[in-house]
Amino acid sequence: MEPVLRVRNVEKYYGSRGTVTKAVDDVSFTVEKGEFVGVMGASGSGKTTLLNCIATIDRVTSGHIFIGGRDVTALGERRLSAFRREELGFIFQDFNLLDTLTAFENIALALTVRRTPPEEIRVRVEEVAQRLGVAAALPKYPYQLSGGERQRVAAARAIVGSPSLILADEPTGSLDSRSARILLESLSTLNAALHATILMVTHDAFTASYCGRILFIKDGKLFSELRRGEASRREFFEHILEVVSLLGGEGAHAL
């Protein structure tokens, strides 16, 4: 079966001819359907740039990104917005909920932009909210919600359109540890129960430990890969910490 995401030799350069910064340097990997993949790296490692390229918010300098078999680097602006609408769901660090809309409307927005019939919108929004435990928050405005609830509403918005790929950029970045845990458990459930494919960027080992596979990025290059396999989350967490310490310390020489 065609993998959900296939990244081939992607490069992203910043700057002019004289001073080139390689933010992403020849990165290739694939994500199969139903995977929960984490991308880890220190600040400035290029992980967010990579995510933005996959999210079609940024253009690659060279290389190809296939999502559901389609090469997004070859799509025009018009096709891209349709593509984002149909295939992608986003969760951001700062929630990015519209504070003038209720939680219900915030979630519904992802459906209204693709002109889903109103009756269907209601059913789907309520179902997703139920699954993420924010059904009670639906009629409320974002400022009436806690940080954790807001992020789960954002997650509901990301998955309500059943995208083939959910992209999360530091989703726990501005949450306290309890809210973060609830959110991550929700994501795991979505991944397990609905076979949602999730690609999550983070620099936090605890957050990453909820993933099934971790890609480590350093200075724009893929540094190593870690699979959870049959290990418990705690054991996986230990493994991740080992790699992280390698990344930051001696690893620089090892490569």
**CA separation for the pair 192, 210 (Å, rounded):** 12
Among 1, 19, 77, 254, binds other proteins (CB under 8 A): 77
Q: Tell whether residue 141 is a contact of other proteins (CB under 8 A).
A: yes
Number of residues in contact with other proteins under rule CB under 8 A: 36
Of the candidate spans 39-47, 77-85, 184-192, 210-218, the one that interacts with other proteins by CB under 8 A turns out to be 77-85
CB of 81 to other proteins, least distance (A): 5
Could you say which of 115, 178, 234, 253 contacts other proteins (CB under 8 A)? 115
Sole binder of other proteins in the list 108, 132, 156, 201 (CB under 8 A)? 108
Give the separation between CA 128 and CA 166, rounded to whole angstroms. 14
Question: 88-91 and 165-169 as β-strands: parallel, antiparallel, unpaired?
Answer: parallel
Per CB under 8 A, does 88 bind other proteins? yes
The only residue of 20, 74, 98, 123 in contact with other proteins, by rule CB under 8 A: 98
CB of 6 to other proteins, least distance (A): 21
Note the helical H segments in 115-176.
118-131, 147-159
Site of interaction with other proteins (CB under 8 A):
52, 55, 57-59, 77-78, 81-86, 88, 90, 96, 98-101, 105, 108-116, 118, 121-122, 141, 143, 157
